[in-house]
Amino acid sequence: YLNLKLKPNNMSLRKVQQVIKPRPHHYVGDGFRVHNFIPAVSYLSMQRMSPFLLLDYGAEFYFPPAEKPRGVGVHPHRGFETVTIAYKGKIAHYDSTGAGGIIEEGDVQWMTAASGILHKEYHENNWAKQGGNMQMVQLWVNLPAKDKMSEPKYQAITNSMMAKHSLPENAGFIEVISGSYKNAKGPAFTFTPVNLMNAKLNKGGKSDFSFPADYNSGLLVIEGEIKINDSEVAPVNNFVLFENTGEDFTLEALENSIVLIMSGEPINEPIASQGPFVMNTRDELMQAFNDFYNGKFGFLED
Ligand code: MN
C-alpha cells in the first residue's frame, strides 16, 4: 500500500532564531526561585516578544518544610495580565478584589490586573509545611492601550478545563490554555490573540504547530529534551526563540517531554514599563505610582 505522508508543499518553515540557556536564578520574595528569560535576555526584549512582557521560570527546586509559607508579599500591578502556571507544588494567592485561591499542580491562574490590583503570592500553607519540589512559570501578557484601564478580573483555569488534543501514534497530547491547537480551543479569555499550550510528548513523539508568521513565538522546555524542525536540540530549562519568517514548526521528543509553547499577536504600541506597572507613556506610569501611593489600588492585608 502507499503511505501518502506528504508534507504540504505550501508549508512555510518557521526557523529557530536561538536556543537560550537559563540565566542565573534570582528570588522573587523568598518563595520563587526564578530564571528570567523575558526581558533580561537580550534577544527577548518586551518589544521583540510582545505581547509577552515577562517570563520568569522557576525550574524544579526543592523547598524544605517551613512553618511560615515562603512567597512574595502585597504588591501592585497595572496595565497587563499575570499568568501563573504551577507544574509542581501549590501556590496560594489573594488579591484586593477579595478573590483568592490555590493554583494546584497543572493549573493556571490568569489574572487581569488592568486598571490596578494588589496581590500576594505564597506557597500554599500545607504544602509549605511538608516542603517539596516547586516548578512554575509566570508570564506577563500586555494589554492593548484601550484595555489597560479596564476592570481587574481573574480566571482560575484548572487542568481539567483545558482542551486536550490527542496526537496520533501515541505521541502524547497538546493541552491548550488559550488560543487553539487544531480543533482544541483553550478556555482562557484573552484581549488579543495569545496561543498558550503545553505539549506533553512521549519519547519519540512528534507534533506540528502553525501560527501566523508575525506572531512572536517561543517555547520553554519544562521536562525532557526536544528536537525542533528535525534540526536544533533544546534540553530541559532552555527557551527557544523562533524567527518570524514562516508559520510552521515541528517538535520531536527525544525523552518524555513537557514543552510550554507561546505565540501571540504583537501589540504594536509604545511600552513604558517600571517595576510592577506597564503602560504606554511616562505620564501614565507616574499616574500609576501616584494612584498606588494614594491607596487607589484598594487594600490587602499582608
Ligand atoms: Mn505579582
Cis peptide before 39 (omega within 30 of 0): yes
Q: How far is the CA of 83 from the centre of ligand 1 (A)?
A: 10
- In angstroms, what is the span from residue 17 Cα to ligand 1's centroid? 30
pTM of the model: 0.95
In whole angstroms, how large is the CA radius of gyration of the chain? 19
CA of 82 to the centre of ligand 1 (A): 7
Distance from the alpha carbon of residue 121 to the mean position of ligand 1, in angstroms: 7
CA of 33 to the centre of ligand 1 (A): 14
Centre of ligand 1 to C-alpha 183, Å, is 33
How many Å lie between the centroid of ligand 1 and the Cα of residue 176? Answer: 23
Helices and strands (H and E) in the chain: how many: 3, 26
Retrieve residue 165's grid coordinates.
Answer: 488534543
Residue 120 CA to ligand 1 center (angstroms) comes to 7
CA 192 – ligand 1 centroid, Å: 21
- What end-to-end distance do the CA atoms of the chain give, in Å? 68
- How far apart are the CA of 75 and the centre of ligand 1, in A? 6
In terms of DSSP bridges, do strands 239-242 and 16-20 run parallel, antiparallel, or are they unpaired? Answer: antiparallel
Question: Hey, what amino acid is at 125?
Answer: N
Distance 246 CA to ligand 1 centre (A): 34
Alpha carbon of 36 to ligand 1 centroid (Å): 14
Amino acid, res. 257: S
Alpha-helical regions (H) of the chain: 46-49, 125-130, 282-293
Q: How far is the CA of 162 from the centre of ligand 1 (A)?
A: 23
- Per-residue tens of pLDDT for the chain, all 302 residues: 455 555 555 679 999 999 999 999 999 999 999 999 999 999 999 999 999 999 999 999 999 999 999 999 999 999 999 999 999 999 999 999 888 899 999 999 999 999 999 999 999 999 999 999 999 999 999 999 999 999 999 999 999 999 999 999 999 999 999 999 999 999 999 999 999 999 999 999 999 999 999 999 999 999 999 999 999 999 999 999 999 999 999 999 999 999 999 999 999 999 999 999 999 999 999 999 999 999 999 889 88
**pLDDT confidence of residue 11:** 73
CB proximity list for 223: less than 8 A, separation 6 or greater? 236, 255, 256, 257, 258
Distance 199 CA to ligand 1 centre (A): 26
pLDDT for residue 5: 52
CA–centroid distance, 119 to ligand 1, in Å, is 6
